[in-house]
Chain A
Amino acid sequence: MLVMSGLSKVFRTEFLETFALRDFSIHVKEGEFVAITGPSGSGKTTFLNVAGILEQFSSGEYLLDGVNVHTMSDDERSRLRNEKIGFIFQAFNLILDLSVFANVELPLHYRRISAAERKARVTDALRRVGLSARAKHYPGELSGGQQQRVAIARALAGHPRILLADEPTGNLDSQTARGVMGLIEDLHRQGGTIVLVTHDPQIAARAQRQIHIVDGQIVALA
């Protein structure tokens, strides 16, 4: 599903080269739940941005669902991101002046899906996260946990091949975090492929497999 081989991401200035990822190789299979852990600045978010085709990488190879993303144009990368990946961000990243329904519907617009199908998908996604009754609400009217569930619904509505979650419980209290993690685990049980980035060992422990990175390199597998 997600294969990175010898991938590097380098930030260059006139005098300095900083490796955010160095010779990074990983293989996430379909249906797997993998946690990427590491201290702050270890390269977790860079990995997630590269995996989510949000950032370019410097060298190496990356195949997402069999597609080599390195040679793709910006438009092709956007389309691939839209079709294959569902994102769950730590800060939820909802658009505040769009309703819950419109937020969940957002990625479907860019796929030119018909209005009827959009409605069906959004309704189903909101039902799965238990927020059907909140469709007309705005993010500001929801709790943090509810906002994260909206973000999960948005990710699910696109029927992605893989879910990338960046510290999905980082902005939530422990009780709400448990609820969100329960939801993510449910998605995995239903066959979803999930890559979760976290610095919290307890959260990471709930994944099938853990990959620990330091200074942009994999240092431990569990």
Chain B
Amino acid sequence: MITYYLRSATKSLFRNRILTALIIVAIAFGIGASMTVFSVFRTMSGDPIPWKSAQLFVPRIDTRPPDKRRDGVPDLLSYQDVMALRRAKIVARQTPLYTLALHLIPEDINLLPLHVVGVAVDRDFFHLFDVPFRYGSPWTVESGDDRSDVVVIGKRLNDRLFAGKDAVGQSLNLDGTHYRVVGVIQDWNPQPRLYNLLNSPYGDSEDFFIPFNTAVEHKIAPRGFTSCSNAWSERLGAVCTWILFWVEATTPSDAQHYRDFLANYSLEQQRLGRFSWLPSASLSNARDWLEEKNIVPTETRLSLILAFGFLTVCLVNGVVLMMAKFLSRNRETAIRRALGATRRDVFSQFLVEAGVIGALAGLLGLGLTAVGLAIEKSMLPQEMARVTALSPAVIGMTFGLAVFATVCAGLYPSWRGSIVEPAVQSKT
């Protein structure tokens, strides 16, 4: 029967072409506007690893005196606290993380050094964030512990330096230190960059990854915001905070266990006389942390509300136009009813027609979304514009939303169209 409804619906599109076109255009504009803004919003606020983010946590210890605790909880920890957390090893996987910027010195002295950005992490980082490897693997536990000069490089750097070939075993000169490449990651660039939100939530992934211990050994200063002066000795103390810490708690009880540990750790620090007050320790889930960081500007949220408000207005117009279209066929409906169509048959036929209209509105809406995104990208910061795209997911959502919204909008007109009595009164 659905085939018959679809055939009838397609035929009906051409029956009142202007009205049909008006409905399609009205809904397509609403879809186009809302999906354009939604695409940007999704890029900004999406969970880059939804299958795992519920298990990832950021431990934070607010060591400020209670009367100075404003502007939320600081995200960065001091070196002393990080080392204490690492040593405790309450969970199976954990990693400190800080951003560093170095110069890659080419072997050819005629070439200029290359500015490269990376992170210092423990090997667990690659497991925590499911980083896919193209060649090699993360460094070994021993290499990390021994402060070995090893490096994992990103695909972009590998393409640039080694033409995309297996670079494992090759050497890189970073600020005068020769690092041995142990791994090359695939094209991995989660957006937003959950693992390193504080430095730059959007943009390219890192050029390289080196062991945290190695970075500290070479006294490589963090890039970006820290609470430290330039003195390296101060960085290794308990006051200046510059390191983000990630842990993986696979079960709620693991997370609770870690929370208890953090609370005890804070208490212990107070008892040891490090503070006269009790530091506030917390463990934030990655999703909550992402939400808390509020990386989506208020204007974007507002735009999203307005865009979906516009879609609602367009759909209301669609309802009215569909009502006119369906009710103009009362005579045909009465004939169908007289010949044995139930109200449900007529309702279904109109609803399928609404779905076909929605599909066409979806196609037009997709085109409008593409145009809207192109305009939006020209106005966005470069790093945001690069990652904002009409992804297959957005294409599917646009089409699905168009059909779903139009079918919903078609419910009332379809019902009104179906309650026509079967008595065909006209004799002319």
Contact = CB atoms under 8 A, between A and B. Distances in A.
Nearest to A170: B427
Interface stretch (A88-96, A183-191, A201-209): A88-96
Nearest to A52: B338
Contacts of A79: 340, 342
Contacts of A97: 11, 15
Contact of B342 (A78, A89, A98): A78
Instruction: Tell me the interface secondary structure of chain B in the complex.
Output: loop
Contacts, number: 70
A54 B333 CA distance: 13
Interface in A55-110: 55, 74-75, 78-79, 81-83, 87, 89-91, 93, 95, 97-98, 106-107, 109-110
Contact of A54 (B336, B422, B428): B422
Given A93-B335, A109-B1, A81 B340 contact: yes
Given A78-B337, A97-B15, A112-B1, A91 B426 contact: yes
Contacts of A154: 339
Q: Which of A45, A75, A78, A154 has the largest number of chain B CB atoms within 10 A?
A: A78
Given A54-B421, A55-B421, A81-B422, A95 B335 contact: yes
Measured as residues with beta carbon below 8 angstroms from the partner, the interface class of chain B is 20 to 34
B332 interface: yes
B345 interface: yes
A74 B427 contact: no
A72 to B, nearest CB: 12
Interface string B1-34: 1001000000100010000000000000000000
A91 to B, nearest CB: 5
Interface in A102-140: 106-107, 109-112
B424 A54 contact: yes
Contacts of A111: 340
Interface in A157-176: 158, 166-167, 170-171
Interface in B333-355: 335-345
B335 A110 contact: no
A49 interface: yes
Given A91-B427, A97-B11, A110 B342 contact: yes
Contacts of A106: 336, 339
Given A93-B335, A97-B11, A74 B423 contact: no
B1 to A, nearest CB: 7
B345 A110 contact: yes
Nearest to A154: B339
Nearest to B335: A93
A109 B424 contact: no
Report, nearest first, the 3 A-B pairs whose CB atoms are least far apart: A82-B340, A107-B339, A54-B423
Given A75-B344, A89-B427, 8 more contacts: A78-B340, A81-B422, A82-B339, A83-B340, A93-B335, A93-B424, A110-B340, A112-B1
11 contacts: A54-B421, A55-B421, A74-B342, A78-B337, A78-B343, A82-B341, A87-B339, A90-B427, A93-B424, A167-B427, A170-B427
